[in-house]
Structure 1
Amino acid sequence: MKLFTKGLLLIALPSVVELALLAVVFDTQEQTARAVQSAADSKQILYQAAALEDPLLRQAARVRTGLIVSDAAFIDRHAAWVDLSDRLMHLDQLVADTPQQAGRVRTMRDAINRYHAQALDAVQSLRDGHSVKSYMALEANPMPAQISIVRNELAAFIAEASRLDAERSTSVMQTRARQQYALIAAVVGSMLIWAVTALVFARNIGRRLEVLTDHAERLGHGQPLSAPLAGNDEIAALDAALHQTSARLRIAEQEQVTLQKRLQARAAELAGVNEALRQETQDNEMFIYSVSHDLRSPLVNLQGFSKELQVSCDDVRSTIDEAHLPDPEQRRLARVLDGDMRESLQFLRSSVTRAAAIIDALLRISRAGRLEYQWQRVSVGRVVARAVDGLQAPIRERFATVTVRELPSAWGDPAAIEQVFSNLISNALNFLDPSRPGRIEVGALAAEPEEDAQPPAQPQAPTTRTYYVRDNGLGIPAAYMPKMFRAFQRLHGDISKGDGIGLALVRRTVERHGGRVWVESAEGAGSTFFVVLPDQPARPV
């Protein structure tokens, strides 16, 4: 397995495990949300059940009073019976997933319906002038039988609902605790996975490099070499070449003393270089740790191992050069060292460098989203003037003309707004067409009132302002337009250098101000970037 493939595995395997840990965290979050919703439903059920008894007892009292005074008006309160029915229906919907509680609700509803029917019969008898003694007999007890049934079922219902509420509250606490444990486990597990993977990779490569170094030393001292390394990576290929070299060197034992002295001098030099590299690596690690330890640690490990491997390769190359091998062997070893090995190391180092640059850019974008803004009325004309003054050197270099029109004020952070226009003007300067005089114009569109439901006699003042930065540069191809405000997207990279995050920072800053940014362009004719910023503080909702 090639070193490049091993490096990919070093990144891929921990990433897969991290995704699995994230899936566990998301699952516990979903369980917590369900538990919280269930607890809220329990509170609602208890509230609805507790609010059912009073209107029922009041209605029973009205029925009894109506029978005593023989007045149907006390009994025939249709709205009260409808209210009781609605409450029971709502309660039935809330406990639909609990069969036992739903059965109690149906029992209460049947009892109330029977009591309601009995009350309606009494009302009809009163209206027809018939005797209501039979109904009075039903009301002789302290509490009507149907009402007693309802109260008993309601008491059992509330007791069971209270028990379920306690269980669900306990479940909420347990699921939240599991969620915290899962999150902690994910963070710690991620760090451990990266550490273990890096350690395993380092031990594997380190052991093989130790064997390779030992073979080189034995080769320098004319001693026999141990068994060759297994595998088909660059280190194994280099070790095989060393074994071939050792076989050739046995013929030239007379040069052993001279070669040993040179190797000792080279070892001392190598120790000094290693110490300097160690100190430099330590300084870099301190800086990287202060920026973003979790993101930088794997890159630092790869950087260090690639340097050590390069030094070892250089050492072996020097040893081979000094051995005065025959030309076929010399070319073969040079092909191994200067070919695949050097290319792999170069690719590894460039990849690490690119990753670090990406991390730096991402940190800049991240900081742009976390900066504390000082909200105030901003004179856009002044901040644009400061931005133009700061860009006078590139303006003179490109013989460009920058025209600033009258710019209305906006509401936002002065430094952030200045950065927005500085990036847009700098972008326009970078992509001017060298074949014609460059012209850049900064202005604002005419204000348009908001479309609001107000009489025409009272126009609504605009709440946003639209500014533009127009140039006559190279323009943007239509196919590239959707990618303009994405990070790390660079057009005409051969003309202008940069990390490709300027427009992404512009979009992030403008969106944090509650505005938006877009571009209109024609390839070969120039581009116009539009920026919408608030004209006044956001209205309270």
Structure 2
Amino acid sequence: MKLFAKGLLLIAVPGAIELALLGAVFGTQQDAAQAARRADASKQVLWQASSLVDPLMREAARVRTGIALGDPSFIDRHAVWIEFSDRLTQLSRAVADNPVQRARVERMREAANSWRLRVADIADALRAGHHPDDLLTAGDALPPQIAIVRSELAQFVADERQLGDARSASSRRTRERQQTTLIVAVVGSMLVWAAAATVFSRNIGTRLAALGANARRFGDRQPLAPPLPGDDEIAALDAVLHQTSERLQRAAREQAVLKAQLEARAADLASANEHLRQQTQDNEMFIYSVSHDLRSPLVNLQGFSRELQVSCDELRANVDAAGLPAGERARMAQVLDGDVSESLQFLRQAVLRAAAIIDALLRVSRAGRVEYRWERVDVNALVARIVDGVRDTAAARDVRIVVHELPPAWADANALEQAFASLIDNALHFLDPARPGRIEIGALDGPVPTSAGRGDSAAETAVNPSRTHVYYVRDNGVGIPAAYLPKLFHAFQRLHGDDARGQGIGLALVRRIVERHGGRVWLESRVGGQAGAPREPADAGAGSTFFMALPEPSSLAA
């Protein structure tokens, strides 16, 4: 049974009992009121009966006076009879529910009427001049008609007084019964509500207490008591509490498993990071050591090549001065000017190539170890210096460089300048010689584009788009094939082989610098001549765009 139905039943049962008790109280109240009205009616009847005979007695006295004086004027008074008749009528109405008393009233009316006729005869005799002595009654005795009225009235009063006493006693008993009923109603109502409260406390209260205990156990993460029986809201809430507890227990077990797995993964990651740190440190030490160790042999080779060149020049001079036959002199000149000179040239180029590679290794090593000085960098001024440095080269190659407004960055100025210089230099040396070159440097408005990451060499560094500046360097060069993009930002990767200068570490340095700034670098490129590629006025559908996303700290954003 639902709580609403239980509540209605809990109110309805005591209410019905109280209504029954109130009905009994109202019944006794009506009985008491009726008994009181009857007692008051008896008193009113007695009061009216007590003065009923007075007009007749006064009339009898006036009759005696009129007889004694022989004056009928004392006798003929109609007002007395009207007053007496009215009192009889009121008395008859008062006892209309009592036939015996009403009959006495009628007999008193008949006796009074008989006396009235007798008085009229006396008045007529006095007016006729008869002697009044024979009209008087003997002694002071009352006329028989008045005696009848007094006798009936006395009996009427006696009966009415007895009836009034009985009604008063009945009224008292009714009031006592009313008081008793009222007390019983009050006590019964209290007992009924006490019983209802007991039922509530044993049923609803006990269930609520059990639910509260389960809630406390749930809060303290203790096992819950068995589910409550029934189908009311309390049982439903307790069932939900048990279900929630079971889900939390399962979640706790899963959390413990996940925590153990996370700790294991964290330990593996820490071990991998330590291994990577050691490996990186070993690689840097190896690069540094190899670079320094290889410099001495290279210097020696370079010196020996120069000595050999000097020796070859002296030998050629001696051959010319020795006056050898023309055939022998030609063979010696062919050896000295051909094979030996070409070998020395190859040796010098190899030495220069090795020296350049060693310098590149040192630059890559230093890019990971140099201590940055963080500051607010004016990127506009930084890029302007780089563009001024390459302006002559750009003019010689018919290249137009366009620089848009660039927001400031929080970075190391030297490292950021090196990154922009590498990207601009890369754009200059990979333009398409078949058309005028164009290089555009700017910044994106809004968040990082969804295409970010194509050709991205960074390890998915988390960057907050709302606090990130994205710079780009766009050219209309020959473009980069899609197959080459994944390895573009690795060191010593050269797209065009011997046709391009450098050692292929510029983009690797850019990647290293941007990653150390907490950002990432990626590119978008289209190779010229692809079918269906969209065409733009400046680059005829080919070219590359390098992006650098650098995070902006909150202090700079403010």
State whether TM-score is above 0.5.
no
TM-score by length of 2: 0.39
TM-score by length of 1: 0.40
